[in-house]
Amino acid sequence: MGCTNSMELSSRFTDPDVCKIINKISESDLEDIGVRVDRVNPTIKNILVTGGAGFIGSSLVRKLVLLYPEFNVTVVDKLEYCASLNNLLMIKNMPNYSFKEGDIASLDLITSILKEKRIDTIYHLAAQTHVDNSFGNPFEFTQNNVVGTHALLEAAKMHNIKRFIHVSTDEVYGEVPKTVPDCREESTLAPTNPYSATKAAAEHLVQAYHKSFGLPIIITRSCNIYGPYQYPEKICPKFICSLINDGKCFIHGDGSNSRKYLYIGDLVDALDLILNLGKIGEIYNIGSDFEISNLDLAKTLLKQFNFIDEKEQESHLEFVKDRLFNDCRYAVDDSKLKKELGWKPKISWDYGIKKTIAWYKENCDKWWDDISGALVPHPLPLRPRL
């Protein structure tokens, strides 16, 4: 994967204090920041990233702030349990970055930010995303994912927004058996759980504002993302953190459910390309060729932790009751993104998972401690709810 070194980054900024900040960035983080696109969209100046203290949002923000000093990047995040200002410490004192704590469902708040910061571009990532939680409290998902999106769209409609990039999920397509082709952008949306239903509803609102009011939107739908900085409720970091603490990997059902996985650095590269080169009104799938079942994922991680013996592996695996409506698999066809914008993943699963494990070994017991008033459940909930 191409990456920018600290000397190259420092050369883009004239402030010596900024250069000191850049020189402290680790080689691993620099690799994930990657490189600039060849053709930067000249209409982009002031960017708002919603949910920018979360896993994907913060990775995108770090890339934009460090690689594009000509961009002014504002983050708005209400700092719920899965977000952390630790994710943004690296760029905290950068001159082209600012942070606002708040809820995107507040039309007054969003309107004031768009006006104050003269926002011309919006990346919308703020959302409740954990499927298990959506069964227990679906109204919270509607409030955040649907009402929040609607408020943001209404505020964007009233300002001179040049790009509204809505970050969605492959789950809006619903379950995709291996006997049918992977979903293309024009495939029917058929969500099967409260989380994916709210994401599909939000997408319909986004498309309606494009058709009704001419809002310049782009929608992305990505597969499962993994990597450093992800809150340990999703399967990869949950299993990794459990194994670090000599715990178990809890497998829903028989573990045959499979997902496709993409490393976080490859995802933000795609989002960067779409920002600068994507076509208004289009939808872009962001996918991966690497697919693995939940059970094989656990066994792969066990080997990474040197649990090679079969009995030793069995002692770190526990099968639990499957959740209701646990889709067998999701799969998207990303040929459009590859053909039209020239994107392709650069990080292999083997390399990406080693990087991810190394980061959690250093950080999983301390990263989500409360440094900013965020609601952080601690210790981490390693066992799934049944």
- The predicted pLDDT at position 2 comes to 58
Instruction: For residue 3, name the pLDDT band (cuts at 50, 70, 90).
Output: low
Query: Model-level pTM?
Result: 0.93
Which one of 32, 80, 120, 170 is the catalytic residue? 170
Q: Which of 223, 269, 262, 266 is nearest to 64 (CA)?
A: 269
- SS3 string, 176-213, reads CCCCCCCECCCCCCCCCCHHHHHHHHHHHHHHHHHHHH
Return the HEC string of 40-60.
CCCCCCEEEEECCCCHHHHHH
- Give bridge partners of residue 260 from the DSSP assignment: 291
Q: Which helix (H) or strand (E) segment is 307 a member of?
A: none
Residue tagged active-site, from 120, 171, 185, 203? 171
The residue written with tokens 């997408």 in the block is: 203
Q: What is the pLDDT of residues 233-277, one digit of tens each?
A: 999 999 999 999 999 999 999 999 999 999 999 999 999 999 999
Grade residue 358 by pLDDT with cuts at 50, 70 and 90. very high
Burial of 56 (0-12, 13-18, 19+ CB in 10 A): buried
User: Is 171 a known active-site residue?
Assistant: yes
Task: Verify whether residue 123 is a known catalytic residue.
Answer: no
Residue 140 annotated to the active site: no
Calculate the dihedral angle through the C-alpha atoms of 298, 171, 84, 386, rounding to the nearest 10 degrees. Answer: -50
From 68, 97, 123, 195, active-site residue? 195
| Amino acid in position 122 | I
Q: What is the 3-state secondary structure (H, E, C) of 157-178?
A: HCCCCCEEEEEEEHHHHCCCCC
Predicted local distance difference test score (pLDDT) of residue 258: 96
Distance CA 175, CA 334 (A): 17
Please state which CATH class domain 6-231+261-292+328-351 belongs to.
Answer: alpha beta
Mean pLDDT of 203-232: 98
Q: Which letter does DSSP use for residue 183 in this model?
A: B
